[in-house]
Structure 1
Amino acid sequence: MAPHQMQPLLLVLLMFMVVAAAAVDCPSACKCNWVIDSLYANCSRRGLRNYPDFDSLPVEHLDLSGNNFVEFPQQYADIDSLLYLDLSDNHIASLAADALIGFVSLRTLLLANNSIVGWQQIHPHEAFKYAPSLKQLSLRGNRLGSFGGDDASQQLNSQSLTELDLSMAQISSVGGDLLVNQLPNLQRLSLANNQLGQLLRLPSRSLRELDMSNCSLQRLSSAFIEALPSLEVLDLSHNTALQFGSAEEDLIVSFELRRLDVSYCNLDQIDLSGLPALVEVSLSGNLLRTVDQQSFANNTMLELVDLSKNVLRLIGNEAFSQLKRLKHLNLAYNEIAYLDRNLIIGNDVLLELNLSRNIIQKLTKIVSNSVRLINMSWCEISYIEGNALSGLSAIQKLDLSHNLISDIPNLMRSETLQQLNLANCRLSTIRNSSFRGFPELADLHLNGNRLTNPIPPVYFRSNKFLDQIWLGDNPWICECQNPLFVEFYDFLTAKPAKLRDRHQLRCASPAMYYGNLWDYACMSDWTVSVRSSSGEKVWSTIMLSILGLGLLALLYGCFQKLMRKHKQRQNRREYDENHEELRRIRDINERMLREESTTTLQQAQEISLLPSYEDALRMPKLERPVKSMLDLSVTERNRKQLRRSQTQPDGEMSAGDDEELQLDTRQRFRSVEMLANRDKERRAQYGPHRRTGYMEYSTQSGSRRFSIEDSRFPAAHLKTQNLQSAEQIGNFQSYENSPYTKRKPKIAEIPPFKRINMMADSVEFLTDPEYEDLGASKPGSPFAKRKPKLPASVQVSAQVYTLEPNQATQLDPAVEDYFSSAQKRAPSTSTIASDFQELVVADIASIADDENRSNLSTSCAELDLERGKRKKRKNSASRRVSGNFSAAAAAGDSSSSFASDGERNVQVHKPMRETLF
């Protein structure tokens, strides 16, 4: 976890401890605090004579050291949570046999530096049995006299004790089976600082660490070590008279011993061949003069060898060659004057080499592929070879401080060196190539030398990672006006600052600045000169530019903000306008929908007012044919003009009349054609891409008809004729969706053999009893009541009669009243025939022949006259749309006369509409 993340956590923990301490009812003489979930009570050095009362607080660590207590606090036996009790530095002289009853959780008991005299005062054989969890006991500083005597009542007995401290206890004799029988789980025993005049066997199968430093030992027998088969750490330091591994004594053998400290024992020779498992050995402070290949021949497991503070002068070339696991080698404070270049070449895992405080005057090449730190300070080195570091491929830190080095060679280089310490040497100048060979250099110590002039920053151009420089304690000449001096100072102090000892950077000259820091010495000069310097102008320009850019950015931001607000207002205004427009459109649409719904309702009402099929049959029947329904509604004057145009003589027909006849023909046949072609339009297969039709002209009738056989929509000029728009026809889906399906007219039953189709007979033909094959209507037919009195034999002739110009015959009424009681008049002699007409095929053929002959032989006037007659005959034939049966009966004689002439009569029936509306 990062430090900045640890600080809030520690602060919270401290606040929690303070709040918890305030919440705990701690005695006034003590200080209680919580550490994690343990309550610590510190009552040390308060001069207390009476034990404080904790009122059953869950105290785990209780420190009562440094007071004036004389008795053991048996009242704390009720605190079940007590784990640690420190009663050292008090005046406790005795310990009752039942003093530890109730301390079932106690693990550490410290009774050091009290007034205990002899083992019998603390009842060691019985008192510690009642503390089954006791692990650590300290009786240091008491007067015990011996350890492991013959008296069983004075032997310490504890089955759980693992660590016992008896240092400085005035013990003079050690021996016996105490560790085996009374302390079977003891692992650490300290007998340091005692005067052990007699050292006997002290067997133990569990003891791992034994400290007998400063015990005035003279001899350590091999039998003593053999009685401790589990011993791993042995401290025999500061036994100045000890003879360890001398030729006169038995060889010490231990296959478990890993750490041996025999420093400051005045040993002049040593034999460690009986300790093959040795990992760390400390031989410092002795009188060893030489180290050769045999010194550590059998200690191949060594990782740390400390030979410092000896009188070593000669080290063999292969003295450490067999130590393949060696990591730390300390040869400091010796008298080594020369190092062989292959001294540590065989130690592949060696990391640290300490050669400080020797008399090496010349730094030569040392070969090692693993050494990272070399300390050669205080070695009186005055010369460095250029290739001194070329053999150290992994060197990272080199300490050459406190030597006599006055120059750094140009060819000195190292690709891995990160820290170079040249402090307190005699360097007076730095060349541009002094540190060029150290590209990874990050930490440089040049303090305490004789540097006077500033170093140009360009000299450190190759040291891209340099971020720490020490330059204090040098006799600098403070030339405050010197641009190089100012540049060097800026290089050191520019952020991130590289100078680490700024408060030691002082001036030695001129005299007025002697002893002053660079900042104070040159501040006044730099303040005055900097204002007019070019650098200041540049910086001023840069700052003003930055301020100007900032102001422009601010203005631009304000302008953008204003534009955004203006745009928002505009968007809001447009939104309101669009919303208002949409509201108006919605109102208009609603009004249009209401109008359309009203119109649709009116149309529906009009449609609903149309007569049904039976009602249409009961309505008055037309007495004579009319050209269209408009003929019924025109005025009498217009009707007379119409009759006059129909009865005008052939010879008086003009070109205008010809055009009127053509127009009349088109108008008369337009509705008929529309009704006749409606079924064809419904059954037509429309192409996917044809949207409009084409005009088709009938050669027989001379009328113009819109063809929809290959088109999807009719022409625009036929929308009013079809009474439906192109869009309605294009979107037509089915007849079930037609608005006319809402009305369900009552259709009379027609026998199967009389089912109507598009080319069938008319309604009158199907319903009139005169035209039935059997000659009489069915009794149940709804048309049986309609039986007009007609002659016995009625034949409708297709002969067209022309009215004479001078004949003033009264026309029959247009509507026949079937329901009136008056007797019908005689059939009219009108030229208009009934619905059942017979056209003479010979006449039709003759018309075509006459037309062909007229084109070849007659003149233009004759052609016009003949064409007018023919058109009149055509118009007479085509105007026979609806008539009465009486007129057809009256014309029976004429038709029979035509038939008698041998001409073939063809009976043509008017196409019947599907519906009557």
Structure 2
Amino acid sequence: MARKRLFPLLLVALLAARSAAVECPASCKCSWVVDSLYADCSRRGLTLYPSFGTAPVEHLDLSGNKFAEFPREYADMDSLLYLDLSHNSIDNLAPDALIGFTSLRSLLLANNSINSWAAISANEVFKYATNLKRLSLQGNHLGSFGGPDYSQQLNSRSLAELDISATHIGVVGGDIVINQLPNLERLSLANNPHMQLAPLPSKSIRMLDLSSCGLQGLGASFVEALPILEALNLSRNTALQFGSVEPVVGKELRQLDLSYCNLVELDLSGLPVLTELRLRGNLLRAIDASTFANNTILELLDLSENLLRSIEGDVFGALKRLKQLNLAFNDIAYLNRNLVRGNDVLTELNLSHNILKKLTRIVSNSVRHINMSWCEISEIESTALSSLSIIQELDLSNNFIAELPNQMYSETLRYLNLANCRISGIRNSSFRGFPELADLHLNGNRLTNPIPPSYFRGNKFLDQIWLGDNPWICECQDPLFVEFYDFLTAKPTKLKDRHHLRCGSPPVYEGKMWDHACITAWTVSARSSKGEKVWSSIMLTILGLGILALCFGCCQKLVRKRKEHNNRREYAENHDELRRIQDLNERMLREESSTTLQQAQQEISLLPSYEDALLMPKMERPVKSMLDLSVTDRARKQLRRSQTQQDGEQSAGEEELQLDSRQRFRSVEMLSNRAKERTAQYEPYRRTGRMEYNNQSGSRRFSIEDSRFPAAHLKTQNLQSAEQIGNFQSYENSPYTKRKPKIAEIPPFKRVNIMADSVEFLTDPEYEDLGSKPGSPFAKRKPKSPINMQVNAQVYTMHQSAVAAPLAPAIEDYFKQAPSSSTIASDFQELNEPELASLPDVNPSTVSSSGAEFDVEQGKRKKRKNSASRRVSGNFSAAAAAADETSSSEGERHVQVHKPMRETLF
């Protein structure tokens, strides 16, 4: 067995190796069939012949292309045996076209463009193909077969088969037509409907095809001219009269086909050796014993598709060698039981498509196959098969059979076809009489209930059952149904049409297969043995573990994907949040930039008054100023070194650098006190306040306790509105009305520009060059060191009769202006005459020149000391002077206090 299996594998491997070594063109498919190389280049639309080189091609198919000339380049291929050039565009064959094709045996030129018999050079071209056996010119428009001239006759000593069917041949016959074809055995002239047939004397023709040629008669001389003719096909000559005028004599004719010739009667007495007779599709109404009296050696008789109604019992009695009898498609209504009794070698009887109503007893000791399908049989005799001693196959399909008789018996029946009948139930003895039954067809009937397996207990060889296309009632819980299904599906499986075994009811299972309908109700353990249970449990365990592992892997993958998804989502949310924050910051920056002017205007309202600015001390820088950012490190170190030196050791340049570096700032403490002062709640009866000094830090703080006047924005006695207080530029008597901040060159904290001379320009000792300011009233003013004192200020309502004491020339012009008619009170508070009398005279006219120089020098020392030891103060009262810098000889002074107009940075 192993050797038998190994041999085909080795053969396939050898053929594959050989095909791999062959150089096959890309437009062809090459394959080895046993020892022959087949090249298939058909239906590729080729116009140029492919080259095979040295490949030993034996079978070459070039059909279905667009070749116009015969391929002479294949003349050197000694191995070429078969050449198919059908369905191309070849229109002629040159006399030397086949030179070199000495090995060619089959040449097919069917359905080309050859338009005349002369175009093929029939007398010359085929002489060079010395081994040519088969030639096909089918489908060409030849017009004739040879001609009166010898040069037009087909000449080939080796040709054995010639096919010139459907070539529009008009005349065939004559003495010299086939004289040059001494070995011609098969000649096909079929499908030449207008052909005139004359005798074709030939001692070599054995098979002649004249089908569909429109023949009306066939003379006795025609068959006599073919002494060794064995097969004659005259089918589909609808006007043919065979043997009605004169009998046809053929001593060697064995096969005769007269199908579809509309024959009403026939005479076969001149054909004694006839073995195959086909009379299908004629108009024969009756036959008798004399019809086949002289044809005793007939083996095949086909009388189907005729009009036979009755057949006598001894019609076929003389046909002792008859093997096949076909009586299908007739009108036979009664069947004689002795119809085939004398035919001892008859094996096949076809009675299908007749009108037999009942299957009666048939006597035969040789019939093995009976076909009685489509016969309208509704009843079967119980002894119908008792006289058929060796019957093996019985086809009763497509009849009206409702049930099988109980006593039906046959010891040799193996095949029983009851498909597409009307059987609705099976009895326990229906198939008991068929012990050799192996193939049973019950499909297409009306079976609803399962058949108990015990009904087939006597059919030990039953291995093929067809039960599909029945309206089965699927009672899955019925033990009989389960048992019947197990009987059909148990190995080896008996059911052959499992896919057609479907349920007809209940409606839930309608149209479903038995397996799909009852799989939930059936269990494997109920239909399996102990070993199968063990294996099933093992397999189920393995399957369960595999499913669990798969589910675990899927869960892990799902968790990873979800985690990645959450990470991506969080990243996207964070990114969106950052974008929103950026947008919000940008919008806030734009809003802040758009409200800068409003904030600047609001801050202007917080600026100190003029006299407060005069009394404020020089302040240190709490943060890095623009000077710290602009000057170099070396200049900054020199500035710090100059601050730590003694008074007399500083040079004039260092003093100027130090004076330039001193800027006036408002400290955080002062601004916070200002804010508290404005937001504090004042009671109506508390109108006194005092100024407190911190000895440790040197700062000032205004105490709102017992204050005589509230903040400027809370003063309602003067009937000042918030808009009038906030928009201070509308005050006509203010010296800061026309002051504008510098934009380009001045730092933000110094952007206060007064169109006239500023207070810094008037009061800062850095501008000592009095010659540059000849009209300044502050040119000779002494810087005064404030001492620790408490200032008690009183707020009085402004009125027209109040007369102020003469002020210093620096501010005299502002208060000597004509009083305004506006109802808005002045921001400067007026003092009573007694208080003005207590103030010292600070008129610069009373100061001597020597005293002025001393005061300037004293002011410089005071600024240097304050810049190094004291931080910026935020109070608007007079600062406390250092104890070691100023003497107390001047005594306690009463200072004129004004209400602050606005806050500004100098």
TM over 0.5: yes
Matches within 5 A, 1:443-522: 443-522=439-518
- Residue of structure 2 aligned with 1:362, choices 355, 358, 367: 358
Distance, in Å, in 2 between the alignment partners of 1:218 and 1:99 is 40
Quickly say closer, same or farther: Cα 1:20–1:99, change in 2 above 3 A.
same
Identity rate of aligned residues, in percent?
67
| Cα separation, 2, equivalents of 1:18 and 1:218 | 56
- CA distance 1:373–1:542, shift in 2 (3 Å): closer
1:135 maps to amino acid: K
- Deviation of 1:30 (Å): 2.0
Tell me, what secondary structure is at the counterpart of 2:37? strand
Give the 5 Å matches for 1:281-430.
281-430=277-426
2:243 alignment partner, one of 237, 242, 245: 245
1:34 corresponds to: 32
Q: What pairs up with 1:719-738 in 2 under 5 angstroms?
A: none
Distance (whole Å) between structure 1 residues aligned to residue 353 and residue 269 of structure 2: 29
Structure-2 residue corresponding to 1:185? 183
Give the residue type in structure 2 aligned to 1:114.
Answer: N
Q: Deviations over 1:402-441 (max 9, x none)?
A: 0000011101101111111101000001111111111111
Q: Report the Cα offset of residue 78 of structure 1.
A: 1.5
In the alignment, what sits opposite 2:252?
256
C-alpha displacement of 1:47: 1.4
Q: Which moved more, 1:88-97 or 1:35-44?
A: 35-44
**Structure 1 residues 7 and 450: CA distance shift in structure 2, 3 A:** farther
Is 1:442 matched up with 2:438?
Answer: yes
Match of 2:652 in 1: none
- Taking the aligned partners of 2:437 and 2:428, their CA distance within structure 1 comes to 15
Partner of 1:799: none
Aligned residue in 2 for 1:111:
109
Tell me the amino acid that sits aligned with residue 157 of structure 2. Q
> Which letter maps to 1:240?
T
- CA–CA distance in 2 between the matches of 1:487 and 1:71? 73
Could you list the per-position Cα deviations for residues 262-285 of structure 1 after superposition, in whole angstroms to 9, with x for gaps in the alignment? 001111111111100000000011
Q: List aligned pairs for 1:256-275, cutoff 5 A.
A: 256-275=252-271
Contact 2:147 2:177 in 1 (8 A): no
- Code of the residue aligned with 1:526 in structure 2: it is W
Deviation, structure 1 residue 127: 1.1
Corresponding position of 1:147: 145
Query: What is the one-letter code of the residue matched to 2:11?
Result: L
Q: Which amino acid aligns with 1:360?
A: L
Contact 2:435 2:459 in 1 (8 A): yes
Separation in structure 1 between the aligned mates of residue 534 and residue 90 of structure 2, nearest angstrom: 80
Show the counterpart of 1:200: 198
- SS in structure 2 opposite 1:164? strand
Q: Structure 1 5/457 Cα, relative in aligned 2: closer, same or farther at 3 Å?
A: farther
Structure 1 counterpart SS, 2:516? helix
**Structure-2 residue corresponding to 1:131:** 129
Following TM superposition, by how much is the alpha carbon of 1:353 offset from its aligned partner in structure 2, in angstroms? 0.3
Residue identity matched to 2:66: N
Supply the distance in 2 between the matched residues of 1:120 and 1:180 (Cα, whole angstroms). 16
Q: Using the alignment, how far apart are the partners of 2:76 and 2:124 within structure 1?
A: 20
C-alpha distance in 2 between matches for 1:144 and 1:362: 57
Distance, in Å, in 1 between the alignment partners of 2:17 and 2:52 is 18
Amino acid at match of 1:92: I
In 2, the alpha carbon distance for the partners of 1:203 and 1:546 equals 80
2:51 alignment partner AA: D
Mark the runs of 5 or more structure 2 residues left unpaired by the alignment. 539-906
Aligned counterparts of 2:371 and 2:520: Cα–Cα separation in 1: 43
Instruction: Specify which structure has the bigger relative contact order, considering alpha-carbon pairs within 8 angstroms and separated by 6 or more residues.
Output: 2
Letter in 2 for 1:466: L
Contact 1:144-1:170 at 8 Å conserved across structures: yes
Shift of 1:153: 2.4
Task: Look up the match of 2:168.
Answer: 170
Displacement after TM superposition at 1:231 (Å): 0.2
Instruction: Please state how far the C-alpha of 1:135 moved relative to its aligned partner.
Output: 0.9
The residue matched to 1:525 in structure 2 has which SS? coil
**CA deviation string 1:127-177 (max 9, x = no partner):** 111111111111011011111421222211111111000011111211112
CA 1:486–1:156 in 2, change beyond 3 Å: closer, same or farther? same
Distance 2:112 2:532 in 1: 76
Query: Given the two structures, how large is their TM-score scaled by the length of structure 1?
Result: 0.57
Cα distance change, pair 318–143 in 1 and its aligned pair in 2 (3 A): same
Give 1:179 shift: 4.8
Question: Matches of 2:335 and 2:279 in 1, distance apart?
Answer: 20
- CA spacing shift, 1:59–1:208, aligned 2, 3 Å: same
Maintained 8 Å contact 2:190/2:210: yes
Cα deviation 1:551-575 (Å, max 9, x = unaligned): xxxxxxxxxxxxxxxxxxxxxxxxx
- Distance in 1 of aligned mates of 2:264 and 2:116: 39
Q: CA RMSD in A?
A: 2.0
Letter in 2 for 1:288: L
191, 207, 210: which one aligns with 2:208:
210
Quote the residue 1:811 is aligned against: none
Any conservation in 2 of the 1:149–1:176 contact (CA below 8 Å)? Answer: no
Letter in 1 for 2:95: A
Match of 2:230 among 200, 208, 232: 232
Residue 17 in structure 1 maps to residue 19 in structure 2 = no
CA shift for structure 1 position 466: 0.9
Counterpart-to-counterpart distance in 1, 2:127 and 2:149: 18
- Residue 74 of structure 2 aligns to a residue whose secondary structure is helix
**In structure 2, what is the Cα distance between the partners aligned to 1:162 and 1:383?**
56
- Measure how far apart 1:80 and its partner are: 1.8
Give the partner amino acid of 1:293.
A
Structure 1 CA distance, aligned partners of 2:285 and 2:511?
Answer: 47
Give the 3-state SS of the residue equivalent to 2:480 in structure 1. helix
4+ residue runs over 3 A deviation: 4-15, 538-548
Tell me the SS of whatever aligns to 1:147: coil
Over residues 244-276 of structure 1, what are the superposed CA-to-partner deviations in whole Å (9 max), with x where a residue is unaligned?
A: 122xx1110001000000001111111111100
Deviation digits for residues 16-58 of structure 1 (CA, Å, limit 9, x no counterpart): 3332222122222222233333222222222111112222332
1:64-104: CA deviation from partner (whole Å, max 9, x where unpaired):
11111111111221222221111111111111111111111
User: Which AA in structure 1 matches 2:324?
Assistant: H
Q: CA deviation at 1:547?
A: 11
Which residue matches 2:830?
none
How far the C-alpha of 1:345 sits from its partner, in A, is: 0.5
The structural deviation recorded for 1:180 is: 4.5
- Number of the residue aligned with 1:741: none
**How many residue pairs align between the two structures?**
538
* Greater Cα shift, 454-463 or 15-24: 15-24
Looking at structure 2, the residues matched to 485 and 476 of structure 1 have their Cα atoms a distance apart, in angstroms, of 10
The letter for the 2-side match of 1:279 is: T
Whether the 8 Å CA contact 1:386–1:410 is kept in 2: the answer is: yes
Please state how far the C-alpha of 1:109 moved relative to its aligned partner.
1.0
Contact 2:117 2:146 in 1 (8 A): no
1:90 corresponding residue in structure 2? 88
CA distance in 1, matches of 2:6, 2:291: 55
Structure 1 gaps of 5+ residues are 549-917
Task: Read off the aligned partner of 1:331 and give its amino acid letter.
Answer: L
- Cα distance in 2 for partners of 1:263, 1:332 equals 14
| Alpha-carbon separation, structure 2, partners of 1:547 and 1:159 | 78
Q: State the match for 1:223 in structure 2.
A: 221
Q: Supply the distance in 2 between the matched residues of 1:200 and 1:268 (Cα, whole angstroms).
A: 25
